[in-house]
C-alpha cells in the first residue's frame, strides 16, 4: 500500500474501476501487435492490467521494470476496441505511465524534448535549428528524399539505417500568410496542422489548404496553437499535456470558426475526446466542450459539406491504411475511402486488416525502433499484397514509419496523405501540373 499512497486517490479509484471490468479473458492478446511480435505476456493489455492490479494490491512497486513494460504499447487502441468487457485499456495505460513517470522520471532525453514542446517558440526555434543541424548530423539518402543519420544515435531512437525526413525551414503558418483570402467562402474553419504537417510534411499541410480552398472553404491557422500534447501526455508527462491542451483550447476558442479541421488522427482525437481527460482546469474543460463538437478530420469534414471542386484523373492503384487514432480514436474509416473512390482513374485496392497498427505508435518508434519495424513489416507485407504503388493514409506518423520501412526493404512504394491525393485530383481538373503525391 506504500506505493498507492503516492498515487492520487482518484487515480487509484479509476484503476480499481477499470480492473473490476477486466475478467482476464485475454481477448486483447489476440489483437495486440506487440504481443504478436514479441510473444511477451506483458505486451498485451491483460499483462499490463495484471501489473496495475499488483500495484493496487501492494504486490508490486511502480518499478522501472514495470515502466519499461508499459513503454511497450503502441496505444493503437486495438485492445480497447476489442475488449468485450469495456475495459478502458488505453486510458489505464496512459494513467499508469503518468504514475510511473512521476515515480521514476522520464528518460532524460524525452523530458527535455517535452519541456521544449511547452514553449511553442522555443520548440519552433529548436526545430528550425534542427532543420539546419540536420545537414550536419544527417547525410542525404543516396536514393531519394530524406536523410540518413551520420552518426547512429540509438538512445535518441535514431537508428543508423533509419530514414528521417528533412524538416521544413519555415512553418506552414508562415506559408499560409502569403495566400489571399477567398472572396465568398462557404465556411471558415480553423486548421490545426499539428507538428507533423507543420514541420515534417508541409507539402501535405499545403495540400489540405489547397483542397479546402478549392472547395470554397477558408482555412485559418490561429497564431497561438502548438503541439496537441499527445506525445507528452501519452508518455506520462501529464503536466505538459495539460498545458498544451489549455493553450490550444484558448487559441481555438478565440476566433469564431465553423469547424476545427485536423489532418492527423492523434491531434483530432485529442481535440475531440482526450482533452476531456487531459485538461485540469474546469473552466478550460467547459470551453473545450463547446469546441470538441466542431472537430473534424479533413476527410469527414469534406464528406459532410460535399466536394464542389471538379476532380481530375489520378491514374494510380492505391491502398488505404487506417491510422489507429483516426479509425479507433475518431471513428473515421469510411470517409477517406468514399472520397478516394470519387477520384477518376484511381483504383482503391483494400489490404488485409487495413486498420491494424503500422507499428509507429508515436514516440514508440523512437524508443523501440526494432520492434516497431518488425510490426511495420507485417503492415508492408499486407500492402504489398494489394499490388498498389501508392499507400494513402491520414496520419503523418504512419507515413513516416511506413516510408522508412519501405526504404529499408528497398521497395518502390510511396506513401502520401489522403489530402495530397485529393488535391492532386483537384489540380488535375484545374489543368495544373500535379505538384505532389
Partner 1 sequence: MADRDLLRALRQAVGAEHVLTAVEDRLCHSHDATFRDALPDLVVSPGSTAEVAAVVRLAAAHRVPLTPRGAASGLSGGAVPLHGGIALSLTRLDRILAIDVAGRRAVVEPGVVTAAQAAAAWEAGLFYPPDPASARMSTVGGNVAECAGGPRGLKYGVTRDYVLALEVVLPDGTVAEVGDPLDGEGCGPDWAMLLVGSEGTLGIVTRITLRLVGRPAAQRTALAIFDRLDDAAAAVSATIAAGVVPTTLELMDGATLRAVEAYLHAGLPTDAEAALLVELDGTPGAVEAQLRQVDEAFRRQGARDVQVAGSPADVERLWRARRAISAACGQLNPTKISEDATVPRSRVPALVREVGEIARRHGVKMVVFGHAGDGNLHPNVLTNRDDPAEMERAEAAIGDLFAAALALGGTLSGEHGIGCMKAPWLERELGAAGMALGRGVKEALDPAGLLNPGKMFTFGAAPVAPPREPGQTGWHAA
Binding stretches for partner 1 (CB under 8 A): 16-17, 19-21, 23-27, 29-30, 39-42, 46-47, 50-51, 54, 59-60, 63, 65-66, 69, 84-86
- Measured from the CB atom, the residue of 14 and 409 that comes closer to partner 1 is 14
Q: CB 108 → partner 1: shortest distance, Å?
A: 23
Q: CB 23 → partner 1: shortest distance, Å?
A: 6
The set of residues, in sequence order, having a beta carbon less than 8 Å from that of 381 and lying 6+ positions away, is none
Q: CB 40 → partner 1: shortest distance, Å?
A: 8
How many other β-carbons are positioned within 10 Å of the β-carbon of residue 324?
28
- Measured from the CB atom, the residue of 36 and 203 that comes closer to partner 1 is 36
Cβ density class 206-230: b for 16+ within 10 Å, e for less:
bbbbbbbbbbbbbbbbbeebbbbbb
Cα–Cα distances (Å) from 185 to 42, 91, 246, 310, in that order, read: 52, 39, 29, 17
Contact 113, 107 (CB under 8 A): no
Cβ density class 29-39: b for 16+ within 10 Å, e for less:
bebbbbbbbbe
Q: CB 273 → partner 1: shortest distance, Å?
A: 20
Q: CB 43 → partner 1: shortest distance, Å?
A: 9
Q: CB 17 → partner 1: shortest distance, Å?
A: 7
- Measured from the CB atom, the residue of 86 and 315 that comes closer to partner 1 is 86
Q: What are phi and psi of 101, to 5 degrees?
A: -65, -40
Cα–Cα–Cα angle for 118, 270, 43, rounded to 5 degrees = 95
Q: CB 337 → partner 1: shortest distance, Å?
A: 19
- Measured from the CB atom, the residue of 64 and 139 that comes closer to partner 1 is 64
Contact 268, 262 (CB under 8 A): yes
- Gap between the Cα atoms of 231 and 363, Å rounded: 7
Provide the strand spans (E) within 16-169. 138-140, 147-149
Q: CB 317 → partner 1: shortest distance, Å?
A: 25
- Measured from the CB atom, the residue of 79 and 324 that comes closer to partner 1 is 79
Q: CB 97 → partner 1: shortest distance, Å?
A: 15
- Measured from the CB atom, the residue of 24 and 135 that comes closer to partner 1 is 24
- Measured from the CB atom, the residue of 19 and 187 that comes closer to partner 1 is 19
Q: In this structure, what C-alpha cell is assigned to residue 323?
A: 491510422
- Measured from the CB atom, the residue of 54 and 429 that comes closer to partner 1 is 54
SS3 140: strand
Length of the chain (residues): 437
Q: CB 69 → partner 1: shortest distance, Å?
A: 6
Q: In this structure, what C-alpha cell is assigned to residue 338?
A: 468514399
The set of residues, in sequence order, having a beta carbon less than 8 Å from that of 224 and lying 6+ positions away, is 120, 247, 250, 251, 254
- Measured from the CB atom, the residue of 29 and 150 that comes closer to partner 1 is 29
- Measured from the CB atom, the residue of 47 and 323 that comes closer to partner 1 is 47
Cα–Cα–Cα angle for 295, 272, 97, rounded to 5 degrees = 150
Question: For residue 118, how far is the Cα from the chain centroid?
Answer: 18
Amino acid at each position: 500500500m506504500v506505493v498507492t499512497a503516492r498515487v492520487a486517490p482518484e487515480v487509484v479509484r479509476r484503476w480499481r474501476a477499470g480492473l473490476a471490468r477486466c475478467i482476464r479473458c485475454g481477448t486483447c492478446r489476440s489483437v495486440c501487435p506487440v504481443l504478436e511480435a514479441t510473444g511477451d505476456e506483458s505486451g498485451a493489455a491483460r499483462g499490463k492490467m495484471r501489473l496495475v492490479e499488483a500495484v493496487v494490491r501492494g504486490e508490486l512497486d511502480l518499478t522501472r521494470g514495470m515502466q519499461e513494460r508499459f513503454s511497450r504499447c503502441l496505444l493503437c487502441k486495438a485492445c480497447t476496441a476489442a475488449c468485450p468487457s469495456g475495459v478502458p485499456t488505453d486510458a489505464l495505460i496512459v494513467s499508469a505511465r503518468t504514475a510511473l513517470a512521476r515515480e521514476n522520471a522520464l528518460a532524460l532525453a524525452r523530458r527535455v524534448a517535452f519541456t521544449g514542446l511547452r514553449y511553442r517558440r522555443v520548440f519552433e526555434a529548436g526545430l528550425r535549428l534542427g532543420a539546419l543541424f540536420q545537414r550536419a548530423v544527417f547525410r542525404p539518402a543516396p536514393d531519394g528524399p530524406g536523410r540518413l543519420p551520420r552518426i547512429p544515435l540509438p538512445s535518441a531512437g535514431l537508428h543508423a539505417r533509419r530514414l528521417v525526413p528533412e524538416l521544413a525551414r519555415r512553418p506552414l503558418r508562415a506559408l499560409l500568410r502569403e495566400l489571399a483570402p477567398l472572396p465568398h467562402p462557404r465556411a471558415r474553419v480553423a486548421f490545426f496542422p499539428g507538428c507533423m504537417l507543420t514541420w515534417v510534411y508541409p507539402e501535405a499541410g499545403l495540400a489540405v489548404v489547397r483542397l479546402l480552398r478549392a472547395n470554397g472553404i477558408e482555412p485559418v491557422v490561429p497564431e497561438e496553437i502548438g503541439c496537441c500534447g499527445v506525445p507528452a501526455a501519452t508518455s506520462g508527462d501529464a503536466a505538459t499535456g495539460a498545458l498544451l491542451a489549455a493553450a490550444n483550447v484558448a487559441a481555438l476558442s478565440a476566433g469564431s470558426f465553423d469547424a476545427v479541421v485536423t489532418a492527423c488522427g492523434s491531434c483530432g482525437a485529442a481535440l475531440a475526446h482526450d482533452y476531456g481527460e487531459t485538461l485540469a482546469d474546469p473552466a478550460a474543460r467547459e470551453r473545450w466542450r463547446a469546441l470538441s463538437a466542431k472537430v473534424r478530420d479533413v476527410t469527414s469534414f469534406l464528406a459532410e459539406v460535399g466536394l464542389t471542386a471538379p476532380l481530375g484523373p489520378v491514374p494510380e492503384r492505391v491502398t488505404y491504411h487506417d491510422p489507429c487514432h483516426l479509425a479507433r480514436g475518431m471513428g473515421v474509416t469510411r470517409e477517406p475511402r468514399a472520397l478516394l473512390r470519387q477520384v477518376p482513374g484511381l483504383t482503391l485496392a483494400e489490404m488485409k486488416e487495413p486498420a491494424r497498427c503500422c507499428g509507429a505508435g508515436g514516440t514508440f518508434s523512437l524508443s523501440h525502433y526494432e520492434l516497431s519495424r518488425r510490426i511495420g513489416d507485417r503492415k508492408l507485407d499486407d500492402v504489398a499484397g494489394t499490388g498498389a504503388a501508392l499507400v494513402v493514409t491520414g496520419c503523418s506518423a504512419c507515413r513516416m514509419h511506413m516510408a522508412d520501412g519501405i526504404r529499408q526493404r528497398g521497395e518502390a512504394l510511396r506513401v502520401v496523405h489522403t489530402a495530397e491525393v485529393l488535391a492532386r485530383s483537384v489540380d488535375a481538373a484545374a489543368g495544373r501540373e500535379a505538384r505532389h503525391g
